[in-house]
Homo-oligomer: A and B are copies of this chain.
């Protein structure tokens, strides 16, 4: 086990409800869902926060989006709509310090977003 929960999930050392896995990106259902569909999409590469993103990570961050889009279609929420959220640091609610994109849908999403 590493000291990062999401690295362990990506490496299958920790069980989770995986919905997508490839060499670069893993997606699994949030254990504390805030909507009928609530999936976390993460890079296998350990990047602690959005503050740690650099130009060389741009393609990888974009891939979190194309994977999320495909999952939204698979889950049947693509047309009604979905929200993609990334929190940076504790003031925004980041709890696991490995970047993750929340995919939320299946209900009306209100504004402001928290």
Contact surface of A with B, Cβ cutoff 8 Å: 34-35, 50-51, 53-55, 57-63, 65-66, 68-69, 72-73, 78-94, 102, 104-105, 108-114
Interface pair B68/A78, CB less than 8 Å apart: no
Q: Given that A112-B114, A114-B114 are known contacts, is A72 also in contact with B88, CB under 8 Å in the complex?
A: yes
Which residues does chain B contribute within 8 Å of A73, judged by CB atoms?
A: 51
Interface pair B57/A69, CB less than 8 Å apart: no
State A67–B96 Cα separation when bound (angstroms).
Answer: 23
Interface pair A80/B69, CB less than 8 Å apart: no
Residue in B closest to A62 when the chains form the complex, CB atoms:
B58
Q: Given that A51-B69, A57-B62, A62-B62 are known contacts, is A109 also in contact with B93, CB under 8 Å in the complex?
A: yes
State A69–B99 Cα separation when bound (angstroms).
Answer: 13
A15 to B: closest C-beta gap in Å = 24
Interface pair B104/A112, CB less than 8 Å apart: yes
Contact pick for A92, options B69, B94, B109, CB 8 Å: B109
A–B complex contacts, Cβ < 8 Å, 5 sampled:
A81-B88, A81-B90, A82-B89, A83-B87, A84-B87
